[in-house]
Structure 1
Amino acid sequence: MKTRESMIIKSIQAKYLLQAFFMLAFFVVFTACDPNDIADDDGSGDISEETLVINEWIDGVMKEVYLWSNKIPSTVNYKKEADSEELFNKMLYTEEDQWSWITDDWASYLKELEGTPVSMGYAPAFFYKDEVSKEVIIIVKYVYKGSPANKAGLKRGDIILSINGQMLNDENYYDLYSGNSYTVGLGAYSSATNTFALNGVNVPLTAVSFSADPVLHYEVKEIEENKIGYWVYTDFTSGVNNNFLKSVDAVIDSFKQSAVTDVIIDLRYNPGGAPSTAAYLASSVAPKFVVEDKKVFLKMVYNKKLQDYFEQKNDDEDRYYRFSASTGNLNLNKIYFLTTQSTASASEALITGLQPYMNVVMVGDTTRGKYTGAWVLPDTNEPPKHNWCMVPIVLKYSNSSGFTDFKDGIAPDIYVKDYLVPAYPFGNLNDEVLATAIAQITGTPVSITKSARKKSVFRELHPKEMELKGAFIVPRKELDSAGPE
């Protein structure tokens, strides 16, 4: 019988199984060996056959495609690990990798990737109520149109103090927030006393599957002689039947018809997504010659085995994303991005990918610093042997100038703190981050109301479960049957 590793290599096939939904990679990754062929004397006696199958799948795939495969500890033994998630975590190179993750609920994650999550449809920011308290508040950063939260009247800037009658603290807040049906208790903030209090408004919410269009808001602001296109974009996903790309097209068409002179793209709450979608958006705003010449948008580097394989194949699509003339184009020479520490992954790829070709101005805070990409790896056996799915880091990306490894994030050209207490509606000029960008365009400071100048700073919490979902998801086409030897 051939070695387990060689059988895994020869069975890795990337397929566009769901390209009608989104350009995402799915891999058939399995061993031809039957579980009964595993030697009896292998130390796996206390592990169920089901767990052993999952563990072998994890071990084999990680050793072949993981970016830091040479850093996997030799002491890790998949035959002796009763917890498959723990096995996966033990294989990670934690000095650099904060992003790889695994789930035993592939079906739910698939809906998120399609842009049809089962969700209430609001994006939370979690803060401590004050400098010493363990009590937590939720600020609503935005609400998706057509979502349960939207239909219930929840809006950007709302303050949630309780869920199902329980006040939130740093031990219960995420479990309560993650429920599928609950009632939120809203509150109000007093700047005079720097305190929060329930206001008696209770909003029942139940998670459903809905279409979460990442084009959250766009408008054209005419200020002095400038026509400024402002666009809030929350996630790089193409959607079912590319319907979210059609939303991008609608924005570009609107800006074209309005003859905008400047564009501001708000990526403050965009954790990433598909680089193919980032390339699509970049092609919509880049200088025309860049798009027509199909210049390099991003370069990708894999572990040595995969890199050698792709270079030997000499397939451009495996190693580069390029600008494409398949979309409308604004032919801009300068663009503005609003950023925070939540701006990550494909958002950073969009910013850095455009920098060699046009004047890119960042207003806001330093970005997250995620320069790596992942493949989504469920079990694609028919029928599947399990419902697990890995999202391991398999590459790092750079722009055409070679800029990468920005572990500390990308610093803004103009620093402005994104205060969410209060959080103004998108497009409101009391939003200081937006107002600062507009002032850079017009050369005239934007008048902000006195109340808007009162700012409150609170300690923010960043649940790892939410940060991991902001993956740079790389589409893959079919590898030849030989695989990367």
Structure 2
Amino acid sequence: MKKQFLIFITIFSITLFAGCFEDLDDNPVSTKELNDFVWKGLNKYYLYKDNLPDLANDRFTNSEYDNYLNSFSSPEDLFESLMYQRQTIDRFSWITDNYIELQQQLNGTTYNNGMEFGLVRFSSTSSEVFGYVRYILPNTDAEIKGLQRGMIFHAVNGTSLTIDNYRNLLNPNNYTINLAIYNDNGTSDTEDDFVEPTNESISLTKAPYTENPIFISEILQVANQNVGYLMYNGFTRDFDSQLNDTFNYFQSQNIQNLVLDLRYNSGGSVNTAILLSSMITGQFTGQVFNTNQWNTDIQAQLNPNDLINNFISNDEGTPLNSLSLGKVYILTTKSTASASELVINCLNPYINVVQIGDNTTGKYQASITLYDSPDFSYNDVNPTHTYAMQPLVLKTLNAVGNTDFINGLTPTFMVKENYGDLGVLGNPDETLLAIALQHIEDTGRISLQPLSSLEIIGDSKDFTLTKNRMYIDRN
């Protein structure tokens, strides 16, 4: 694989970091030094540098630069001041004061109680929020406590969820959810739906957990055809070999159609996105998968060939199990983001992508981790602090130049999940999967339910550092 892709960093032991922690105590870093790291890193790599006068190479004299750095009371303040159109264009760059936690999450390890959930409000003018359980991770506290997909909760620790408090209530490692029942009022119109609190509550505790993103892989029989179904919840590099094994299974079952469920997949490794796309196809090896576009300075330093990523036939020498499909069904929601969107966007010029569900998030940019070191890599990192940045550094274009889909990718068939009856994931009767199977069986004739007016405003991945991330290696 090309070296610019992310090589996930091994989780480091506490012993390895002992020296760093001693330095943190003995030699505290100044705010000005941290601000210097932030400005120089963004000046070098930030995708939208050209749009920000304060990041211009000739913006400051030495004295002006010192005064500029000293005018910000924290590196976070400086970082935010240099973000381009924060509410619309760059919603995804971020800074952390704990890169150890970041490194763990890039490998798929988070503090998790096993309840993967979505958060919904009934309208854009309502402040009230309720949660619904999307799926339960195996061998977790949520599984032990008996939580199941489709359960509804309206409050945490007895406090009703609102648009303003849900982050604080659901962020701690220990909390109690207060359950409710979804009531559709006997109509298909969601305008009159509501949730009814019950007296039930469940206490949950988070613990370190590494999620296998291959949540479901199975074969369904539809119209005398073998249909592969894969629910894939994260582009995590450490599970690429298992992903390849899954496609070997699909290959051995001679599937004629594939339903790829990315509805809860918020992204991850660009490398893995190319692998997955190459496994779905296989007939386009060597052709353009996507093109990368950096800021003007970086773009000028790169060979044009280095801007292009191609479909591939192997992963560092291991042959890929490819299906050579001419059509794929992809299930999406508003939580489908970044590397998931990359797969959809970059397959579109080559095969028939039947997208079923809701508009995706709208993240077409990728980021890298910048450390405080001479070349911003982890080599020779400054031992006096654990700050790191994850700024957007490039945007992706498919083979025909499509990018900048800020409002997400629009589905072929707009369908939303029914919060009162989510169904069982992988079951042919589950709402989104049923539409795909009906399309396969009836050669395109499907029936759609009225659209829900409810709005997803967040999910359980909001409480991780790697939400909606698409990563490449700094090289």
Structure-2-length-normalised TM-score: 0.82
Question: Relative to 1, partners in 2 of residues 1:136 and 1:261: Cα closer, same or farther, differing over 3 Å?
Answer: same
- Partners of 1:171 and 1:396 lie apart in 2 by 31
Q: Tell me which moved more, 129-138 or 244-253.
A: 129-138
Does the 8 Å contact 2:279/2:320 carry over to 1? Answer: yes
Measured in 2, the distance between the counterparts of 1:360 and 1:456 equals: 24
The structural deviation recorded for 1:382 is 4.6
1:259 aligns with 2:254: yes
Distance 1:334 1:70, change over 3 A: same
Aligned to 1:384: 383
In the other structure, the counterpart of 1:145 is 138
For residues 363 and 335 of structure 1, what CA distance do their matches in structure 2 show?
11
Show CA shifts across 1:228-264 (max 9, x none).
11111111111xxx3x113312321221222211001
1:88 paired with 2:84, answer: no
Residue 31 of structure 1 is matched in structure 2 by none
Task: From 307, 313, 331, give the equivalent of 2:324.
Answer: 331
Q: Distance in 2 between matches of 1:196 and 1:320?
A: 47
Kept after mapping to 1: 8 A contact 2:236/2:272:
yes
Q: 1:419 is aligned with what amino acid?
A: N
Q: Distance in 2 between matches of 1:20 and 1:322?
A: 27
Give the letter for the 1:170 counterpart.
Answer: I
Cα deviation code 1:298-322 (max 9, x no counterpart): 21111111111112xx6x4554244
Instruction: State the partner residue of 1:362.
Output: 355
Asked if 1:213 is matched to 2:212, the reply is: yes
Q: Distance in 1 between matches of 2:46 and 2:473?
A: 16
Task: Report if aligned partners of 1:275, 1:474 keep a CA contact under 8 Å in 2.
Answer: yes
> Where in structure 2 are the equivalents of 1:48-447 lying within 5 Å?
50-74=30-54, 77-94=68-85, 96-128=89-121, 134-192=127-185, 194-238=193-237, 242=238, 244-286=239-281, 288-291=282-285, 294-311=286-303, 316-317=305-306, 319-325=308-314, 326-379=319-372, 380=378, 381-382=380-381, 384-443=383-442
Secondary structure, in 3 states, of the residue corresponding to 1:289?
coil
Identity of aligned pairs, percent? 29
Distance in 2 (alpha carbons) for counterparts of 1:15 and 1:417 = 34
> What's the offset of the Cα at 1:178?
0.7
Deviates more, 1:158-167 or 1:271-280: 158-167
* Deviations 1:360-395 (CA, angstroms, capped at 9, x unpaired): 211122222211111122343356231112110100
| Residue type of the alignment partner of 1:412 | P
Deviations 1:22-53 (A, max 9, x none): 9xxxxxxxxxxxxxxxxxxxxxxxxx952111
The residue identity in structure 2 corresponding to 1:324 is: S
Q: Are the counterparts in 1 of residues 365 and 470 from structure 2 also a CA contact under 8 Å?
A: yes
| Whole-angstrom distance in 2 between the partners of 1:70 and 1:446 | 48
Deviation at 1:400, TM superposition (A): 2.0
Which piece of structure 1 moves more, 154-163 or 381-390? 381-390
Q: What is the distance in 2 between the residues matched to 1:49 and 1:222?
A: 62
1:329 offset after TM fit, Å?
1.0
Instruction: Tell me the distance in 2 between the aligned counterparts of 1:408 and 1:171.
Output: 23
Listed as ranges, the matches of 1:2-81 within 5 Å are 18=8, 50-74=30-54, 77-81=68-72
Matched to 1:86, the amino acid is: D
Q: CA deviation digits over 1:116-169, x for unaligned, max 9?
A: 111223222112367875332111122222333233222221112222232322
Distance 1:446 1:124, change over 3 A: farther
- 3-state secondary structure, aligned to 2:215: strand
How many corresponding residue pairs?
A: 427
**Equivalent position amino acid for 1:249 in 2:** N
The amino acid of 2:467's aligned partner reads K
Give CA deviations for 1:183-207 in whole Å, capped at 9, x if unaligned: 2222222333743233333222111
Instruction: Give 1:307's aligned amino acid.
Output: Q
Whether the 8 Å contact between 2:334 and 2:456 is mirrored in structure 1 is no
Deviation of 1:417 after TM superposition, in Å, equals 2.2
What letter corresponds to residue 83 of structure 1 in structure 2?
S
CA distance in 2 between counterparts of 1:295 and 1:410 reads 23
Cα distance, 1:269 vs structure 2: 1.4
User: Per the alignment, do residues 88 and 61 of structure 1 end up closer, same or farther by CA in structure 2, a change over 3 Å counting?
Assistant: same
- 1-structure distance, mates of 2:78, 2:4: 24
Question: Structure 2 unaligned runs (5+)?
Answer: 13-27, 60-64, 187-192, 373-377
Query: Aligned partners of 2:449 and 2:263: how far apart in 1?
Result: 20
SS at match of 1:290: coil
Report what 2:22 is aligned to: none
CA distance in 2, matches of 1:207, 1:252: 32
Deviation at 1:89, TM superposition (A): 0.8
Q: Distance in 2 between matches of 1:101 and 1:256?
A: 40
- Asked whether the equivalents of residues 367 and 470 of structure 2 are also in contact (C-alpha less than 8 Å), the reply is yes
Corresponding residue of 1:8 = none
Amino acid corresponding to residue 256 of structure 2 in structure 1 = T
Q: Please, which of 469, 474, 482 is the counterpart of residue 472 of structure 2?
A: 474
The SS at the match of 1:270 is coil
**TM-score, normalised by the number of residues in structure 1:** 0.80
Letter in 2 for 1:470: N
Contact 1:146–1:210 at 8 Å: present in 2 too?
A: no
Offset at residue 476 of structure 1 (A): 3.5
Q: Distance in 2 between matches of 1:58 and 1:421?
A: 46
Matches of 2:400 and 2:450, distance apart in 1: 42
SS in 2 for 1:162: strand
